[in-house]
Amino acid sequence: MKRSLGFKTDTVLAELVYCEDDQVIESLRWDADRSLARDLLSKAESLLIKHKASFQDIHGIFILKGPGSFTGLRIGCSVANTIAHTLDIPIVGSSGTQWVELGLRRLLSNENDELITPEYGAQPRITQPRK
């Protein structure tokens, strides 16, 4: 059995997806808003524990790489890339509404992007400092 974990952090409604082989076992969604950086890793760990697994049991990671929120995508990609690098497992990125299916298909085809960079869809809106 190949276990994988998916990350979607493009909006304030974050999502983690736990899969076994090509089947979605559970999807966890929550209003992450300004707590995404604090909660993402612990939510992922709790989801794995619920299914009697740990990060060491994960064979691959897939992530929605954008477009979306600058901060949300940056946090999600940073966490997913770190896990994949640390565990030396493949990571793939995808876009669109079928991101889970595409991510799973790519992982099961032994693809590996090695590093996911966010695709924001537009230039970030950076507030200019006042004099």
Does pTM top 0.75 for this prediction?
Answer: yes
Domain CATH number, residue 40: 3.30.420.40
Residue 91 domain flag: yes
pLDDT of residue 131 exceeding 80, the answer is no
Count of structural domains, the chain: 1
Give residue 124's pLDDT. Answer: 64
Determine how many CB atoms are found less than 10 A away from the CB of residue 24.
14
Give start and end residues of each alpha helix (H) in 1-131. 36-50, 70-87, 99-108
Q: Report d(CA 118, CA 31) in Å as an integer.
A: 20
> Which range marks the domain in which residue 37 is found?
3-108
Average pLDDT, the chain: 95
Q: Hunting for tokens 């950086």 — which residue is that? A: 37
Residue 28 domain flag: yes
Residue 29 domain flag: yes
Q: Report d(CA 3, CA 46) in Å as an integer.
A: 15
Structure tokens belonging to residue 50: 């619920």
